[in-house]
Structure 1
Amino acid sequence: MRTAKGCLSAVALSAVLAAPGQAEIDDAPPSRAPLSVIDWLGSNTAPSEPQPVAVPRPGPPQARRPRPDDQPPVVKSALAPQITVTPLGKGQPREIGLVPGKVTGLPASLWRGSEIDDLLRLIERLPDLSLPAAQSLLYTVLLAEARAPQGKAADGDALARARVRKLAQLGALDPALSLIEQAGVATSPEHFDLWMQISLLNGTEDRACATLKKSPHLTRDYGTRIFCAARDGEWENAALTFGSAQALGLMNETTLALFDRFLHPDLFEGAAPLPVPRDMDPMSFRLFETIGEPLPTRNLPRAYAVADLRDLAGWKSQLEAAERLTRAGALPDNHLLGLYTARDPAASGGIWDRVAALQRFETALASGDPEQIAKALDRAWEAMREAELEIAFATLFAEKLQQVALTGRARGLAFAIGLLSPAYEATATQTDPLPDYAGHDGAFLRAVALGEAPARRPGDDLAAAIHDAFTTPEPRTDLLAGARSEQLGASILRVLALLDDGARGDAPALGSALATLRALGLEDTARRAALQVLLLRPET
């Protein structure tokens, strides 16, 4: 089954877990669409935003200090006072995260009861999630304010770095940078080196180099030392460090060749381009760009696509990078829309056809003519399906589409688009009579959107699994038990892997994952995931 990737949606979790099999459903009004975590981070009007702390003004003069002979005795007996001893490193771990619990609904004890090795393994091995609803929940967990498991301070540091690495792998470099900076870039050489790698991809390496100049002990990486020394104009120092690394064999031949051209560009004028290394790293990527041999990012890991969002890249490269990052939920949908509408298509075919289709749809939507809108909608939707950007399209245009009096296929399509948007509940309650879409009964889709038990069990395996999850749910008792033992973060990561198996065609896994999400109180994720499984499959 092909599924699409797209925007993020905020997740609500009950503060107190229900008994197994019972779901705690968020009672937020359906008309208010939740902000995504990525959108929330960039919003100046975020809901439940922490209020400024009031600083007390200087008060009136205090009463005079009593003279020594007026003061009460400081001890009441000659017995030795009781002293509480707390071993260093055993205190309460500090909270690390960018989104407060009042927004995520997740408790600060998210990781508290888990073993650090289990968490690191779960985060590292989590697959590339195919459902946007699952992506949204993953971002929320990674960015939530939470304390590390009780134990060594190094455990908390390792967990913070694992969260940052996963964010970077997804392409969410700005949140990754903010999180590693909050964790403390000077905490250890591992923290600094991770900060430097992300900064190189994000184009903010000057800040990292300035920090390194003040604290040279923060890295043992010779490449970083050479690069930062050269960026700071200390060419002799950079050349000396390069010579030492070369003589002692501290860097591989490919990296040495890159730094040689970086430090001595005059010696290589007219030379053939260097071969691209098989295993790319952020420093090599930036060096290729610096020596005038920038590399295309389409075949590199997703994090490298962020470099193509800069104005230095051509419009097509920016569009391709934005599509790739939007599919992973790492880029706000409005950024993609801004690039799609920035100028007229430069050619035809491929991405240019998508740009043209979206621009024609926007023009038709502005006209208010149902016939023009219906015609343009069909083409734009097919273009978005081709790029697996249905969720982004739905988030951008569902609300306006619900206000147009469409008929026939266009009405059913608008209904499906509304169900794929954050306003899925409002779409389900306001649409009447219910249209069918892609072979799915409208009443079944409405029941799922509202979290109700569908009346009829479909014959399709995945649809039947969704029916069972909302009528006779069988959540994973081990994951519920883990959540009640302050292992909620680990339970969520495991259910995300289970949900991904279900989205790819494993019906029993799908039913189990949806039932577990509902029992954990993650109702929004469960409903949106079910709707996405139903509506993002190829039409029959």
Structure 2
Amino acid sequence: MKLNVFFTCLLILPAHYAIADPLSAVDWLSDSLQQPQQVAPADDPLDGISTETIETTILSDVVKDTVGLLPAQVSGIPTDFWGDSAVKRLAAFIRYAPHGQVPEITNLWRRIILAELNAPVASSADNLLLLARIDNLLLAGDLNPAESLLKAADPNDQQLFRRWFDISILTQRSDEACARMIATPRFAPTLPARIFCLARSGDWSAAAITLSAARILGDVTKDEALLLGMFLDPEAFPEVSDIPSPIVMTPLTFIMREALGLPRPSQTLPLAFLHLDLQNKAGWKRRIIAAERLVREQALPTTSLLDIYLEGKPSASGGVWQRVSAVQRLKNALERDNQAALSAALINAHKTFEHERLRPVLAQWFGASLPNFTYDTAAQKIAFDLAALAQANPEKLKKIAPSTQTSQYILSLLDTETDVVPVGDLQLSIFNGLHGKTDKTVLHQLVDDRRVGEAVLSALTLLQSGADTDVGDIETALSVLAYAGFKDEALRIAVQILILGDKT
């Protein structure tokens, strides 16, 4: 059932988003010592298309929201993308951007977040848009580009520095951040952070004196003092085998507990914490689990996961070992080029990876080469789907395209010489959205009003459920993306929705 677009827009940003955490959506960030400033006050509603009040700002303050890693010719995002949209609204969209199951949606979000763009209306020294972009990357566990953004912006205030500090310790690259913190004490996100950095710099006596003073003055909790004391001198606490985990574990607490070999909390760790598990000393299984979670969010190159899968022979069965075995079996079958063995290996790998929402990863590894082989009937559709997900050339796709209506329709979207009539609500919605047959909506009007970025973010948010998105929202979102100049991206999203949503 197609939703009324006006009410759909009202659902894009729930009302509680208007009262964001004052500093960040990332609740594990190191606490700042300064009082937080409100990012999006309750009287600035973000739950629909709104008429923004005119705000003024000093031109010299508009600096860091423009920082990016990808120039326009690389990102494909025009520099005037934000246009006349208000910075608070854009920041809320980005900070709470859902990470869906459709790779092209995540890819477009990431390009926008990393793009070098002109600052939006009312950008100021608060750097709201930059902070939102960095927080989005932190939530996804994509630490390297987040760190690069921070360095490009120069993390010379507390809000930027606290993020850089947390990233630096999670990636085991804390020397530079610690040196800057010691040189500029006001940057210290917390007193424990300063004590940690003093120790890292080799000034153990200063670290111990600072901890002793903090304990006397009550500036650290009992558990914080114990953890820091153990970190500075583990041999002084031989009887302590564990310290209660805090409700919200900061990167610093996590790193010190790991260094001391203390038990991990029972709850699932934030994605950003998993980078520690990518190190060889973490063990093969733990590295696989961490890499899989990060790859799902495109926070780690898929080749990194493949390299880990191929490190050795699985010593057990089931779980992660089933996926390791499936990948190795498929790789060997491709090298032998035996139709029966390849078909069986492809079916097995597809089933195993589909269960873990890793089909797009399988496609990136092997999809481009699949049109070069022949398959049994049951495996042919899988080969076609994975090759299409990998954006294989339409001429190559024709070689392995099954005669099923869905596969032929996908081929028709990619090949102008193939004409297949859409069947069903989903295919019709995709056809209408891609071919300009959708009535103009308030989101299209945003494009006309020089609020292209806001329109695109709204469209991507409509698609937050991926292949399970309402067909009316799919049509609207694809139409808006195409209208805003992102027709190729809309096409890739449509193809991926058709494939990932097909349960046959």
Q: For residue 194 of structure 1, report the CA deviation from its aligned partner.
A: 1.0
The answer for the alignment partner of 1:319 in structure 2 is 288
- Aligned partner (choices 224, 228, 236) of residue 193 of structure 2: 224
The answer to whether structure 1 residue 521 and structure 2 residue 492 are counterparts is no
Q: For residue 125 of structure 1, report the CA deviation from its aligned partner.
A: 2.3
Contact conserved, 1:101 with 1:145, CA < 8 A, in 2? yes
Contact conserved, 1:169 with 1:303, CA < 8 A, in 2? yes
Q: Which residues of 2 match residues 435-446 of structure 1 at below 5 A?
A: 435-436=402-403, 440-446=405-411
Contact conserved, 2:446 with 2:452, CA < 8 A, in 1? yes
The answer to whether structure 1 residue 406 and structure 2 residue 370 are counterparts is no
The answer to whether structure 1 residue 118 and structure 2 residue 99 are counterparts is no
The answer to whether structure 1 residue 431 and structure 2 residue 427 are counterparts is no
Deviations 1:344-392 (A, max 9, x none): 1121111101101110110110012222211111111111112211111
Distance 2:408 2:435 in 1: 15
Q: For residue 422 of structure 1, report the CA deviation from its aligned partner.
A: 2.7
The answer for the alignment partner of 2:171 in structure 1 is 202
Distance 1:417 1:103 in 2: 26
- Aligned partner (choices 402, 412, 422) of residue 457 of structure 1: 422
- Aligned partner (choices 182, 190, 194) of residue 152 of structure 2: 182
The answer for the alignment partner of 2:130 in structure 1 is 160
The answer for the alignment partner of 1:170 in structure 2 is 140
Q: For residue 411 of structure 1, report the CA deviation from its aligned partner.
A: 2.0
Unmatched segments (≥5 aa) in structure 1: 1-85
Contact conserved, 2:61 with 2:125, CA < 8 A, in 1? no
Q: For residue 192 of structure 1, report the CA deviation from its aligned partner.
A: 1.0
The answer to whether structure 1 residue 264 and structure 2 residue 264 are counterparts is no
Count of aligned residue pairs for this structure pair = 448
Distance 1:274 1:529 in 2: 47
Contact conserved, 1:258 with 1:288, CA < 8 A, in 2? yes
User: Pairwise CA RMSD of aligned residues?
Assistant: 2.5
Contact conserved, 1:473 with 1:512, CA < 8 A, in 2? no
The answer to whether structure 1 residue 304 and structure 2 residue 273 are counterparts is yes
Percent of aligned pairs sharing the same letter: 32
Contact conserved, 1:134 with 1:529, CA < 8 A, in 2? yes
Deviations 1:257-279 (A, max 9, x none): 32132223223213231122221
The answer for the alignment partner of 1:141 in structure 2 is 112
The answer to whether structure 1 residue 490 and structure 2 residue 461 are counterparts is no
Contact conserved, 1:345 with 1:356, CA < 8 A, in 2? yes
Q: Which amino acid aligns with 2:311?
A: A
Contact conserved, 1:419 with 1:428, CA < 8 A, in 2? no
Distance 2:232 2:300 in 1: 35
The answer for the alignment partner of 2:9 in structure 1 is none
Distance 1:91 1:350 in 2: 50
Q: Which amino acid aligns with 1:517?
A: L
Contact conserved, 1:502 with 1:513, CA < 8 A, in 2? no
Contact conserved, 1:345 with 1:352, CA < 8 A, in 2? yes
SS in structure 1 at match of 2:410: helix
Q: Which residues of 2 match residues 350-369 of structure 1 at below 5 A?
A: 350-369=319-338
The answer to whether structure 1 residue 535 and structure 2 residue 504 are counterparts is no
Distance 1:336 1:237 in 2: 42
- Alpha-carbon spacing, 1:470–1:161, altered in 2? closer, same or farther (3 Å): closer
Contact conserved, 2:278 with 2:291, CA < 8 A, in 1? yes
The answer for the alignment partner of 1:448 in structure 2 is 413
Contact conserved, 2:384 with 2:400, CA < 8 A, in 1? no
Distance 2:436 2:90 in 1: 31
Q: For residue 484 of structure 1, report the CA deviation from its aligned partner.
A: 4.4
Distance 1:158 1:350 in 2: 42
Q: Which amino acid aligns with 2:402?
A: P
- Alpha-carbon spacing, 1:260–1:90, altered in 2? closer, same or farther (3 Å): closer
- Alpha-carbon spacing, 1:149–1:463, altered in 2? closer, same or farther (3 Å): same
- Alpha-carbon spacing, 1:412–1:152, altered in 2? closer, same or farther (3 Å): closer
The answer for the alignment partner of 2:204 in structure 1 is 235
Contact conserved, 2:62 with 2:119, CA < 8 A, in 1? no
Contact conserved, 1:195 with 1:208, CA < 8 A, in 2? yes
Distance 2:189 2:322 in 1: 49
The answer to whether structure 1 residue 417 and structure 2 residue 386 are counterparts is yes
Deviations 1:36-65 (A, max 9, x none): xxxxxxxxxxxxxxxxxxxxxxxxxxxxxx
Moved more, 277-286 or 173-182: 277-286
Unmatched segments (≥5 aa) in structure 2: 1-56
Structure 1 or 2: larger helix share? 2
Moved more, 197-206 or 252-261: 252-261
Distance 1:189 1:92 in 2: 16
Contact conserved, 2:309 with 2:324, CA < 8 A, in 1? yes
Q: Which amino acid aligns with 1:170?
A: A
SS in structure 1 at match of 2:60: coil
Distance 1:223 1:239 in 2: 11
Distance 1:359 1:284 in 2: 38
Q: Which amino acid aligns with 1:469?
A: G
The answer for the alignment partner of 2:445 in structure 1 is 481
Distance 2:251 2:337 in 1: 48
The answer to whether structure 1 residue 506 and structure 2 residue 442 are counterparts is no
